[in-house]
Amino acid sequence: MGFFKWKDQFSVHVQEMDHHHKKFFALLNKMYDYNKMEDGDPEFLNGLFRELSAYVLVHFQEEEKLLARAGFDGLENQKIQHQYFRDHLVKFRAQHFNGQDRIPANVLHFMRDWFLDHVLEADGQYGKYFADRPFLKMGYIP
């Protein structure tokens, strides 16, 4: 049993954004699996954390660009929420690189729960926004 299992109902119906979201959870699952290993290489975990952080930054940027182009009125809320998560990531990474060889379970749980909540609520709103405006699909949605 993995830590997180993607379900179709998490889709925001924007293919590239779904792809990003799935990738985030796949990286979280890898971290979770690493935590259970007895003799994992901490360098591998550091690499995973780096990849996840970089990926989240790119995703937020791409999402905000997409929403700005489409004139989505929830953009400011998205930016605030994204910044909240970024701030936490910076803190988690600082703690991690201070000599931890495992990612604390509460950090993994926080990342999973916050991200899923965000995908379902805030991101779900732009999913509906696009669904209600099929004309935006041309040229706005990658």
Interface with Fe ion (CB under 5 A): 63, 78, 123
Q: Which residue, judged by CB position, is nearest to Fe ion in the bound state?
A: 123
User: Least Å distance between CB 16 and Fe ion?
Assistant: 10
Measure the CA–CA gap between 130 and 142, rounded to whole angstroms: 12
Residue 34 vs 78, nearer CB to Fe ion: 78
User: Least Å distance between CB 40 and Fe ion?
Assistant: 29
DSSP letters, 22-80, are HHHHHHHHHHHHHHH-SS--HHHHHHHHHHHHHHHHHHHHHHHHHHHHTT-TTHHHHHH
Residue 45 vs 111, nearer CB to Fe ion: 111
| Residue carrying the six token digits 């699952």 | 29
Residue 45 vs 66, nearer CB to Fe ion: 66
User: Least Å distance between CB 74 and Fe ion?
Assistant: 9
